[in-house]
Structure 1
Amino acid sequence: MQTDFLVIGSGIAGLTYALKVADACPDRKVTVITKTTEDETNTKYAQGGVAVVNDLENDSFEKHIEDTLIAGDGLCNPEVVEIVVKEGPERVQEIIDWGAEFDRTPDGDYARGKEGGHSVFRVLHHKDVTGRELERTLLAAVHAKENIEVLNHCFVVDLITQHHLGYLVTKSTPDIECYGVYVLNLHTGEIEKIISRITLLATGGNGGVYRTTTNPRIATGDGVAMAYRAKGRIENMEFIQFHPTALFEAGVGSAFLISEAVRGDGAILRNRKGEAFMERYDARKDLAPRDIVARAIDSEMKRTGTEYVYLDCRHMNQEKFIHHFPNIYEKCRSIGIDVATQMIPVAPAAHYSCGGIKTDEWGQTSIGNLYACGECASTGLHGANRLASNSLLEAMVFAHRCYMDGIRRVSSVSLRTDLPDWNAHGTAQPSEMILITQSLKELQQVMTDYVGIVRTDVRLERAMKRLDLLHEETERLYEAATISPQLLELRNMITVAYIIVKCAQFRKESRGLHYNTDYPAHSAIVQNMVW
């Protein structure tokens, strides 16, 4: 298959980009591929909303910029922060014009929420299913475009570069180029070739490397792993954001998110004794940035010997709660919790990767003709900790910037016709799927126990030793067995876990989401860890 614009991923980043390039280049072919169904993305599960300045009487660009920089703890790129904050309102208006609906007050103004780290109310939302509304809007718009083709159940194996033409490619190679991808077609079981002029990675996050995550099970770090294997630059992967308040359900891996907006509306965190403990950790109490709240909860759980704390919503206006958070209300009720009379058990869960594939201010990676956008990218916006509800905004702003740069360059890029087919010679069907499933359990256990909210040098060293063994075993299996989506995901997650640990080992300080008790304070040197 040949295409002009190849988009890997069908969340807000990928679909926004696809719409824009398809509209600007009606004679160009745009292909969107996703490894499951088109609507199964991290975007769909986003609850809180979109942080944007569109109320200049009570808010300002300067305030949003300052809040973002404070949350990022010294590692944000100030120029990128200014770009996202100032270009954000226009991008949000675009998705509204495409049909997205945000909640409004009785007088017709937008109903704005406030979340941790924000100094004012600026988060636009659609009840507590904002991501689902944006995904619905974008898919409807995409299907109306004749030059966009969406391919479901296509798992990208690897990016195609000069490496596949027999050239030696290393991280110091100055002119690495992406020519397309090898794809496992899950309908046919065959590995196919998609050749493209411009490729966008919009593959989402990597919460699946941890035992408990708010992400759907598809979040396995595929984009970061394939970019790393192609010798692309990766940075800041040690900064894994744990959402402080995931619904605690014993044995459940994909945790249900209790939006930060609930605390924004007045919910209070309490420990086993019923004490409101956040005032002991930060003057902002329950609305401190996520890294602080997650560490505070982790501390309380360890201090009291419990697996969770409580989120108390009993004092809140219940009619308003049900109207604003119907999804959360119904989920709690389905497991026997009445939020009007009972507190909600919550615990931190892996939520968001602040690092990723390093890009410039136009979304271009270190590999030619390859862009990255959304959670898999590291644009410089988030630094050491993402400000709540900045992710959807970043995805829209950088999808636009990738589109602007991509349409400018597409006519100068030729399609390669000399790329080899995938060679599966000498492989066989795996005889024991237990080898894959057990390795996945070990990986998630290692990352949860040793590379979680609080880290030490000893824990990181243990994690690396176990990851080395898992990598060795999995590579042997990959070389001998026929490729399956389970094997591809395991391989990608091991790669991503390795990068997380390696970055964490090199950061000899505690900053933002990376908290190492061997280095409890900031160092004098502030820098990004690039691989």
Structure 2
Amino acid sequence: MTDTLAALRGQVTVVGSGLAGLMTALTLAPQPVVLVTSAALGTQTSSAWAQGGIAASVGVDDSVELHLADTLLAGDGLCDARIASEIVAQGPAVIAALECAGVAFDRDRAGCLMLGLEAAHSRRRIVHASGDASGAAVITALVRAVTNTPSITVLEATDVRTLLTDGGAICGLTVSKEGQTVAIATDRVVLATGGIGGLYDSTTNPTSNFGQGIALAARAGAELADMEFVQFHPTGLDSARRPLALVSEAVRGEGAILVNDAGERFMSGIDGAELAPRDVVARAISTELTQGRHVFLDARRALGDRFASRFPTIQALCQEAGVDPARDLIPVRPAVHYHMGGVATDLKGRSSIPGLWVVGEAASTGLHGANRLASNSLLEAAVMGMRAAHDIAASAQGVIRLSTCMQTVPVPDASAVRATVSRRLGVLRSRSDLQSAIAALLPLAESRGPATDPAIVALSIAVFAMLRQETRGAHARVDFPLKLSLTRRRTMTYADVLDVARAETHSIARSA
């Protein structure tokens, strides 16, 4: 392995093999690229599990302006309008690029793209593939394309341990494979490592995804943004399965309704009803659950026997849980699904550290604001992967001075933080819960054990959440239920996070 990595010196290194990472590597071709992935290529990535599809204004009754308006409304006042406009405008181009890469999107008999409807969209604009297996179809095609691209060297079953810097700029990274840790010397690294769902007990994401890219960038000194905004998908299939299976909101888009165990349609009086933004629906379901009720999705009248043909993947997952959606109510509960926060980046994917680009869910561009509009995630991943690649291709390689001193970092393990994160950083938050989370997570973050990296990410979420004293989008404070008249996005380095956390724990200690 050492000889192989020495031969890769100076090559662009992409970390992660979801949609953002694959698009970055493919767009850079024929420039040599190293693609590092912790599992087999394209596996253990949320992209492959995406059911709904990709939001793009390609319908005859749609426009970029309408897509943008829906995005800004869902983002609840915190979207960066300029960035959102740039990204959603690329929707049609992304669909075309993916089709050129081999993705076969679903089309009707006339050859027109079939478009689905999801929550908070004013038009049918969800481009899907293989019914409700869009992510898998996209990733399968891109993995095939990467495998057939000779300029891309893939390192599978390889974990990134640290980012290396020289004078505040990237000069390399350390990777571990089969117990051996070595360095790759490069001044251009792209993190495409996905989300944070593995920090929680109830998630629809791969449980191994705990925010690795955020932890790497945070330890290197990068600015983080909007870490408090964790989106809970309202309708995770409530079962013993972990991670929870997802019941796509496209099911609600086809007319399914939410009811409690008293048979009440509790969303009927809320603007948008079942197709209200995800934060609204998740809070409504959480309120029902905290009052001791159970919540179900009822697709019997809307879909009935058509459920299996329209949603074959969800049908199989329901059958696994002993539920027949054509005849039974589907038990659901909120589950962590997406993180709007992450490493702060610009429209080229650049972080605050020279030589470090971050794309996909690990980044926070400002597109999603306080609440992601459904299916804008795969759109952003593809757009930003391509944008970062174009920016890298236009940049000149610098002189790389790689230190031979490599810090030993333990294999990360999120198990020690899950109980705290799940209980204290859920859909509904309070000052007392956030204080408890900070007190429990700070010692773990300051240690040098397996829980350190997951605790760094979780502590950052808790501190950002403590500082946002309002309810907005996916961040709900029961002690601050109203929105502030003036609000803004927040960026902080991890050093800033530690300062706030330490001050808060000292304050708690003094008042005890």
The TM-score with structure 1 as length reference comes to: 0.88
CA displacement 1:21-59 (0-9 Å, x = unmatched): 11xxx3x4210001111121111111111000112x211
SS at match of 2:481: coil
Which of 273, 289, 299 does residue 285 from structure 1 map onto? 273
Instruction: Give the equivalent residue in structure 1 for 2:162.
Output: 158
Q: Output the CA distance in 2 between the equivalents of 1:373 and 1:331.
A: 30
SS at match of 2:35: strand
Q: Output the CA distance in 1 between the equivalents of 2:442 and 2:355.
A: 32
Q: Output the CA distance in 2 between the equivalents of 1:176 and 1:76.
A: 29
Instruction: Give the equivalent residue in structure 1 for 2:498.
Output: none
Instruction: Give the equivalent residue in structure 1 for 2:14.
Output: 7
Instruction: Give the equivalent residue in structure 1 for 2:93.
Output: 90
Instruction: Give the equivalent residue in structure 2 for 1:385.
Output: 371
Q: Output the CA distance in 1 between the equivalents of 2:187 and 2:156.
A: 21
Instruction: Give the equivalent residue in structure 2 for 1:274.
Output: 263
CA displacement 1:332-388 (0-9 Å, x = unmatched): 112221111101100000110001000111111000011010000001100100000
Contact 1:3–1:31 (8 Å) recurs in 2: no
Contact 1:225–1:493 (8 Å) recurs in 2: yes
Cα drift, residue 155 of structure 1 = 0.7
Cα drift, residue 421 of structure 1 = 4.3
Q: Output the CA distance in 1 between the equivalents of 2:295 and 2:246.
A: 14
Cα drift, residue 88 of structure 1 = 1.9
State the aligned residue count: 483
Contact 1:3–1:29 (8 Å) recurs in 2: no
Q: Output the CA distance in 2 between the equivalents of 1:291 and 1:133.
A: 28
Letter in 1 for 2:267: M
Aligned-residue CA RMSD (Å): 1.7
Which of 157, 170, 181 does residue 173 from structure 2 map onto? 181
Instruction: Give the equivalent residue in structure 2 for 1:452.
Output: 426
- Deviates most, 462-471 or 141-150: 462-471
Instruction: Give the equivalent residue in structure 2 for 1:481.
Output: none
Residues 227 and 261 (structure 1), Cα distance of their counterparts in 2 relative to 1, 3 Å cut: same
Cα drift, residue 264 of structure 1 = 0.5
Which of 145, 152, 163 does residue 148 from structure 1 map onto? 152
1:295 aligns with 2:256: no
SS at match of 2:176: strand
SS at match of 1:349: strand
1:78 aligns with 2:81: yes
Instruction: Give the equivalent residue in structure 2 for 1:42.
Output: 46
Equivalent residue runs for 1:479-518 within 5 Å: 487=450, 490-518=451-479
- Deviates most, 10-19 or 440-449: 440-449
SS at match of 2:11: strand
Contact 2:254–2:303 (8 Å) recurs in 1: no
Q: Output the CA distance in 2 between the equivalents of 1:122 and 1:206.
A: 27
Instruction: Give the equivalent residue in structure 1 for 2:105.
Output: 102
Cα drift, residue 523 of structure 1 = 1.2
Cα drift, residue 10 of structure 1 = 0.4
Contact 1:92–1:396 (8 Å) recurs in 2: no
Cα drift, residue 106 of structure 1 = 2.8
Cα drift, residue 423 of structure 1 = 5.2
Instruction: Give the equivalent residue in structure 2 for 1:264.
Output: 253
Contact 1:3–1:30 (8 Å) recurs in 2: no
Instruction: Give the equivalent residue in structure 1 for 2:495.
Output: none
Cα drift, residue 321 of structure 1 = 2.0
The TM-score with structure 2 as length reference comes to: 0.91
Which of 217, 220, 226 does residue 207 from structure 2 map onto? 217
Equivalent residue runs for 1:22-421 within 5 Å: 22=29, 26=30, 28-40=31-43, 41-55=45-59, 57-126=60-129, 127-162=131-166, 176-185=168-177, 187=178, 189-250=179-240, 252-280=241-269, 282-303=270-291, 305-306=292-293, 308-409=294-395, 411-416=396-401, 418-421=402-405
Q: Which runs of 4+ in 1 moved over 4 A?
A: none
1:530 aligns with 2:491: yes
Letter in 2 for 1:53: S
Q: Output the CA distance in 1 between the equivalents of 2:253 and 2:485.
A: 34
Q: Output the CA distance in 2 between the equivalents of 1:414 and 1:405.
A: 18
Instruction: Give the equivalent residue in structure 2 for 1:168.
Output: none
Contact 1:236–1:530 (8 Å) recurs in 2: yes
Letter in 2 for 1:140: R
Residues 103 and 318 (structure 1), Cα distance of their counterparts in 2 relative to 1, 3 Å cut: farther
CA displacement 1:154-204 (0-9 Å, x = unmatched): 111110012xxxxxxxxxxxx62111211111x3x1111011231100000
Cα drift, residue 225 of structure 1 = 0.6
Instruction: Give the equivalent residue in structure 2 for 1:483.
Output: none
Contact 2:55–2:379 (8 Å) recurs in 1: yes
Q: Percent identity?
A: 39
Letter in 2 for 1:217: T
SS at match of 2:83: helix
Letter in 2 for 1:75: L
Instruction: Give the equivalent residue in structure 2 for 1:20.
Output: 27
CA displacement 1:452-474 (0-9 Å, x = unmatched): 101111110011111123334x4
Letter in 2 for 1:340: A
Q: Output the CA distance in 2 between the equivalents of 1:253 and 1:322.
A: 23
Instruction: Give the equivalent residue in structure 1 for 2:506.
Output: none
CA displacement 1:235-293 (0-9 Å, x = unmatched): 1010000000000013x43100111101001111110111111023x221000000000
Contact 2:345–2:364 (8 Å) recurs in 1: yes
CA displacement 1:397-425 (0-9 Å, x = unmatched): 1111101110110x342333x4214255x
Cα drift, residue 319 of structure 1 = 4.6
Letter in 2 for 1:9: G
Structure 1 unaligned residues grouped into runs of 5+: 163-174, 431-435, 479-486
Contact 2:256–2:303 (8 Å) recurs in 1: no
Contact 2:255–2:303 (8 Å) recurs in 1: no
Contact 1:357–1:365 (8 Å) recurs in 2: yes
Cα drift, residue 103 of structure 1 = 1.4
Q: Output the CA distance in 1 between the equivalents of 2:306 and 2:48.
A: 23
Structure 2 unaligned residues grouped into runs of 5+: 493-512
Instruction: Give the equivalent residue in structure 1 for 2:438.
Output: 464
